Amino acid sequence: MTRAALLVGSAALALAAAGSLAQQPVRPHRIGLLMPSTPAATANLVAAFEAGLRDRGYIKGQNVTIDYRYSEGRIEITAKLAKDLAELGAEVIVTTTDPVVRTVRQHVGHIPIVMVNTSDPVGAGLVQSLAKPGGTVTGLTNFSPEISAKRLELLKEAVPGLSRVAYLWNPDLPGAIAVYRDIESAADKLGIRIESAKARSAGDIERALAALHQGPKLALLVQAPNPLLYTHRREIARHATEKRLPTMFNRREYVTAGGLMSYGPNVPEMYRRAAHFIDAIFAGAKPADLPVEQPSQFELTLSLKTARSLGLEVPPTLLVRASEVLE
């Protein structure tokens, strides 16, 4: 074989090899989504997250694979679900609430974690600071020190003469005691007495509500975020309506389930925004260098149907400030 023929042959082999490599499919990115609730209860949040991914060019089944895990309110199986996602090859795990994020980091801390709707990531030790997370966790928080006081103010405005508020909560959740003290302090300034209604399990919810001393000018405030209470939001709204209790929640979904009102950030939009962090991590960014985002806008949602069933007339001052009024 002449030198010229050898060179031509080598070039042809190189081109063939390059063409073969070009034809090989690009391995899709893999995301683990761990929700501490049920598929039905979080369907709108999952849809928002997937929409955010599509906005950034990630299409399921093409260039990204999403593995879903749901703990259905059972924190004790969170570690197993996180390990399942790690074994499947998740490059990043998306999850929510301070205790769940902490558990995931504890068991698969080598994988980047994008948190959504956490209450106090700095206080809970999930990140060093919002500006510089400094670890494997970043994402979005609903942290706003004044939000509990604002919910009480709106509730008192909606219920003239309000003097008592039952607080449905799980004191075992990280940071819960500090938030409870903030609520008591805000209530004291408004001339409202807080009554504790503890619910650590699904069975506790109905018992806690049944144990409330009914009477005029009593309302219900629900802990946020709390996956268990969110999962059982329809039962909570139904029990409250039966007991003729005006209710305040943190999310619109509670109101569409029959609650009176909610005030808080747009959580589905936070899930959509989580795709921004995913995209940055896939591009090579480290969670330690991606600042945690806080909500800048808060939404007030009211249900006139529920107000009528409670015999309440929502003040016009609230109606004009509402982001959404449900008939």
> For residue 178, how many C-alpha atoms fall within 13 Å in the half-sphere facing its CB?
9
- Please give the Cα distance from 68 to 98 (Å, whole number): 19
- Please give the Cα distance from 121 to 114 (Å, whole number): 12
> Does residue 272 share a domain with residue 133?
yes
Mapping DSSP to helix (H, G, I), strand (E, B) and coil, where does residue 136 land? Answer: coil
> Does residue 236 share a domain with residue 120?
no
Percentage of the chain beyond pLDDT 70 is: 91
In a domain, residue 271? The reply is yes
Instruction: Give phi and psi for 249, each to the nearest 5.
Output: -125, 180
Instruction: Give phi and psi for 190, each to the nearest 5.
Output: -95, 0
Highest mean pLDDT among 82-96, 132-146, 219-233: 82-96
Range of the domain at 71: 29-143+266-289
In a domain, residue 21? The reply is no
Would you state the pLDDT for residue 21? 43
Q: What is the mean pLDDT of the chain?
A: 90
Is 167 within 8 Å of 221 (Cβ atoms)?
yes
**Residue 67 β-bridge partners:** 32
> Does residue 199 share a domain with residue 239?
yes
The token duo for 304 is 């006139």
> Does residue 274 share a domain with residue 171?
no
Q: Which CATH number characterizes residue 103's domain?
A: 3.40.50.2300
In a domain, residue 131? The reply is yes
> Does residue 198 share a domain with residue 167?
yes
Number of separate helices (H) and strands (E) present in the chain: 13, 12
pLDDT at 182 over 50: yes
Mapping DSSP to helix (H, G, I), strand (E, B) and coil, where does residue 117 land? Answer: strand
> Does residue 52 share a domain with residue 190?
no
> Does residue 127 share a domain with residue 61?
yes
Would you state the pLDDT for residue 157? 94
> Does residue 169 share a domain with residue 87?
no
In a domain, residue 124? The reply is yes
In a domain, residue 10? The reply is no
Is 170 within 8 Å of 223 (Cβ atoms)?
yes
For the four alpha carbons of 155, 223, 231 and 296, in that order, the dihedral sign comes to positive
> Does residue 200 share a domain with residue 64?
no
Which H helix or E strand runs over 167?
strand 164-169
In a domain, residue 109? The reply is yes
The token duo for 5 is 């023929």
> Does residue 278 share a domain with residue 321?
no
> Does residue 322 share a domain with residue 203?
yes
The token duo for 203 is 């069975």
In a domain, residue 37? The reply is yes
Q: Are strands 164-169 and 218-222 parallel, antiparallel or unpaired?
A: parallel
Number of domains in the chain: 2
> Does residue 224 share a domain with residue 212?
yes
In a domain, residue 82? The reply is yes
Residues 6+ apart with CB under 8 A from 145: 182
pLDDT at 51 over 90: yes
Q: What is the pLDDT of residues 4-49, one digit of tens each?
A: 444 444 444 444 444 444 455 678 999 999 999 999 989 999 999 9
Q: What is the pLDDT of residues 237-246, one digit of tens each?
A: 999 999 999 9
Nearest in space to 118 (alpha carbons), one of 41, 179, 184, 67: 179
Task: Name the residue with tokens 């409330």.
Answer: 212
